[in-house]
C-alpha cells in the first residue's frame, strides 16, 4: 500500500514535471526595449507594431518605453532578463554595450540588438534594415517630380546609416534627372517636431519643392502640406498626417523578423546572426503610391521595387563619384556591405559638407 502510494506519487510528480517543462518550452516570453514613446508614429511605433505581431502569433510580450541610453538601460535589461523573458529585443543603437554586458550574465536569454555591430557573446544577434533601398525608390520619385530641381533632405546625425540614405536617394534622383541637387539640413535629433519643422521651413526657403526626411516625427510632412509641396513619410505610413503632401513612405516592417526569431527560440533553433534585410525580405516596405504620381513614374517605381527585391538592381551601382569627382565605385561594380556600413562621404550632387 505504502509503496504503491509512493510510486504513484513519484510518477505523478514526474508527469507534472514533464508537463511544466513542455509548457515552459512553448511559453516563450519576449521583451522589447524602446528608446521613445510607443506613440511617436516613427521608430518606436513601428517596433511596437512588430511586437503586436509577436503577440498575434501567440506569444507573451512585455515592453518598456522611453528607456534612456544612459546607465538606466542596463538595469532595465537585467530586470527583463531576470523576470522570465527568453528573448529581448533592444531597439536603439545606444543599447549596444549594455546589451552585450547583460547578455554575458544571462547566457540562457537571447538578445537581439537593432542597428549595432557588437556580438560579443553567443546569445547576441544584431539586425538592421536596408532602408537605403527604400530611399532609392524615394529618390526616383523625387527626381521625376521636382520642378525646381532642388530637393530638401532633413537629416538627423552624420553617421553612416544617414549618409548612406542621402547618397542612395541622390543617386536615384540623378539617374532620372541629372540636374537635381540635394540640400541637407542637419537637425541633430531623431525626434523633435519643433526642430524638424524649422529644418523643413529652411529647406523650403532655399527653393526645395520636395522634402525627404531621416527623422521620425510627422512635423515635416505637415509643414510640406501647408506649403503645398511634396514630402515622403518616414518609418510608418504618414499619409494620414498630410494626405496631399505625402507621395509615399518607407515603412520599417519588423513584425516578420520578430515573429521568426521568437518562434526560433520556442523551437530551440535560435542561433546567432547578423541580419540586414531589405525590400526583398519585407523588412523595408513602400507604402501605397499617391495619386498625384504620374502613371509613367508609377510604372517605373513598381518595376524598380521588384528589381531591388530580386537583387537585379542594387542601390549603389557604379560609376559613383564623390563630391570632388573621385571614383567611389567603378562602372559595373556594386558597393559591398563593408563599404556601405562605413560610408562617410557624400556622392556628387549632394550640396554642403558632412558636419565634422
Partner 1 sequence: MIKIVKRDQPSRAIFFLTPVLAIFLTLVAGGLIFYILGFKPFEALKFFFIVPIADKYGFSELLLKATPLCLIAIGLSFCFKSNNWNIGAEGQLTFGAIVSGGVALLFYDQEGFYILPIVILAGAIGGMLYASIPAILKTYFNTNEILVSLMLVYVSKLILDYLVVGPWSNPEGFNFPETRQFSESARLPLLFEGLRIHAGIFLALAAVVISWFIFYKTYLGFQMKVSGFSLKTAKYAGYKGKKMIILVFLISGACAGLAGVGEITGPIGQLHREISPDYGFTAIIVAFLGRLNPVGIIFASLVVAITYLGAETAQIFMQIPKYTGQVFQGMILFFLLASDYLLFFKIKFIGSKK
Residues near partner 1 (CB under 8 A) are 31, 37, 62-72, 74-76, 78-80, 83, 93-94, 97, 117, 157-160, 188, 341-342, 344, 355-356
DSSP 286-339: EPPPPTTS-HHHHHHHHHHHHHHHHTSS-SSBS-EEBTTS-EEE-TT-B--HHH
- Give the Cα separation of 10 and 1 in Å (integer): 14
Give the nearest distance from C-beta 330 to partner 1 in angstroms.
24
Give the nearest distance from C-beta 189 to partner 1 in angstroms.
10
- If you ran DSSP here, which 8-state letter would residue 188 be given? -
Which residue, 131, 130, 153, is CA-closest to 142? 153
Query: What are 288's three cell numbers?
Result: 501605397
Give the nearest distance from C-beta 341 to partner 1 in angstroms.
6
- If you ran DSSP here, which 8-state letter would residue 283 be given? S
Q: Which residue, 69 or 307, is less far from partner 1 as judged by CB? A: 69
Give the nearest distance from C-beta 118 to partner 1 in angstroms.
10
Q: Which residue, 72 or 336, is less far from partner 1 as judged by CB? A: 72
Query: What are 334's three cell numbers?
Result: 556594386
Give the nearest distance from C-beta 194 to partner 1 in angstroms.
13
Give the nearest distance from C-beta 236 to partner 1 in angstroms.
20
CA distances from 53 to 38, 90, 216, 236, 320 (A): 15, 17, 21, 15, 39
- Give the Cα separation of 352 and 195 in Å (integer): 20
- Give the Cα separation of 322 and 157 in Å (integer): 20
Q: Which residue, 107 or 160, is less far from partner 1 as judged by CB? A: 160
Query: What are 11's three cell numbers?
Result: 510518477
Q: Which residue, 158 or 282, is less far from partner 1 as judged by CB? A: 158
Q: Which residue, 28 or 208, is less far from partner 1 as judged by CB? A: 28
Q: Which residue, 97 or 323, is less far from partner 1 as judged by CB? A: 97
Amino acid at each position: 500500500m505504502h509503496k504503491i502510494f509512493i510510486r504513484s506519487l513519484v510518477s505523478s510528480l514526474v508527469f507534472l514535471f514533464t508537463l511544466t517543462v513542455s509548457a515552459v518550452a512553448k511559453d516563450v516570453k519576449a521583451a522589447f526595449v524602446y528608446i521613445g514613446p510607443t506613440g511617436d508614429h516613427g521608430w518606436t511605433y513601428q517596433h511596437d507594431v512588430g511586437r503586436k505581431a509577436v503577440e498575434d502569433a501567440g506569444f507573451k510580450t512585455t515592453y518598456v518605453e522611453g528607456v534612456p541610453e544612459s546607465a538606466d538601460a542596463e538595469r532595465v535589461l537585467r530586470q527583463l532578463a531576470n523576470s522570465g523573458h527568453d528573448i529581448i529585443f533592444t531597439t536603439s543603437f545606444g543599447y549596444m554595450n549594455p546589451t552585450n554586458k547583460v547578455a554575458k550574465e544571462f547566457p540562457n536569454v537571447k538578445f537581439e540588438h537593432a542597428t549595432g555591430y557588437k556580438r560579443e557573446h553567443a546569445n547576441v544577434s544584431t539586425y538592421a534594415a536596408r532602408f537605403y533601398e527604400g530611399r532609392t525608390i524615394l529618390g526616383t520619385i523625387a527626381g521625376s517630380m521636382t520642378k525646381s530641381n532642388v530637393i530638401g533632405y532633413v537629416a538627423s546625425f552624420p553617421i553612416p546609416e544617414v549618409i548612406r540614405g542621402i547618397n542612395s536617394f541622390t543617386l536615384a534622383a540623378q539617374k532620372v534627372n541629372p540636374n537635381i541637387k540635394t540640400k541637407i539640413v542637419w537637425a541633430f535629433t531623431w525626434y523633435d517636431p519643433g526642430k524638424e519643422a524649422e529644418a523643413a521651413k529652411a529647406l523650403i526657403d532655399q527653393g526645395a519643392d520636395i522634402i525627404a526626411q531621416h527623422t521620425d516625427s510627422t512635423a515635416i510632412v505637415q509643414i510640406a502640406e501647408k506649403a503645398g509641396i511634396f514630402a515622403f513619410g518616414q518609418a510608418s505610413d504618414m499619409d494620414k498626417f498630410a494626405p496631399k503632401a505625402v507621395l509615399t513612405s518607407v515603412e520599417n516592417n519588423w513584425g516578420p523578423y520578430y515573429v521568426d526569431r521568437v518562434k526560433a527560440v520556442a523551437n530551440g533553433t535560435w542561433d546567432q546572426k547578423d541580419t540586414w534585410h531589405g525590400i526583398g525580405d519585407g523588412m523595408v516596405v513602400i507604402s501605397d503610391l499617391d495619386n498625384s504620381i504620374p502613371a509613367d513614374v508609377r510604372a517605373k517605381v513598381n518595376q524598380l521595387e521588384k528589381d531591388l527585391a530580386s537583387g537585379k538592381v542594387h542601390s549603389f551601382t557604379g560609376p559613383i563619384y564623390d563630391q570632388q569627382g573621385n571614383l567611389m565605385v567603378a562602372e559595373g561594380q556594386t558597393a559591398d556591405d563593408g563599404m556601405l556600413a562605413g560610408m562617410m562621404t557624400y556622392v556628387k550632387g549632394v550640396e554642403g559638407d558632412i558636419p565634422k
